[in-house]
Structure 1
């Protein structure tokens, strides 16, 4: 037999038996409960609040850090990080309409249609370059240590710029990778 002491809610929130008139049932506020406010479960006959069925409201709010507690320790004062010095050495930059190639002391960076892949010198097996078959673009290929090949094609406008890029790129690659 189920006893009232085993129920989860205090007596003031319990739903009366179905034979009892709801209008006469005592409540905390003295008001009559509405069907949407309270629902009786079949097993326990305890009051379970019913949540209204509405769509969740999504709001865009600014992210604000919560205020620290009065007893919490203050934020540690960190020294500002000094800017890292730029690598010293020759560099090469070839920029086209959609793609770009950068070779400097830190390594090789290929930018293709907004995506950038950076390679540090220790992870590069070799770098190759040549003029495209139509003579309008510079083709640069980076071979990674694990054998993967990454290729970038930079269109040169005007074509005379391509003739400037080839010797400059060869000289910069020779400076950082004398063996190839």
Structure 2
């Protein structure tokens, strides 16, 4: 599936935003905001990466990006796309995002999170608050869990936010928020 300049591979058990046009806008906004506010980010984590949409759109020379996703099929898709695009500096890991992040020794320059409706939860939000990571890009489909998670990270302040109408004529939307320490 072509999304912007990235031909994403999708497998039956992998998650992807169903509205391709809005997903393309979501990834463009993420890429543009990161370039504007966190262009110097050299180490990036894309937690709950799915088929790698954010990681693949944020790939840049000199940047090392690790995508983490619990679905092995989604990771196969992300790796296939990265290989076909000839992108280096990308690694995709099959793991629980929170467990993986809490097990790492160092915090990255930027963390992207795109969790399911339940949000990132207290453990990961607490880790992000303590980590010193200067930038967090949070994509959410649930305003209540987004608000809860942001409240648990008071040292990270929103500098950009956008609502994307993922399902027109419904109450469902995606919120993208860039947080800076």
TM-score norm. by structure 2 comes to: 0.19
Q: Which is higher, the Rg of structure 1 or of structure 2?
A: 1
More helix by share: 2
Please, what TM-score do these two structures have when normalized by structure 1? 0.19
Q: Tell which has more relative contact order, 1 or 2 (C-alpha 8 A, sep 6+).
A: 2
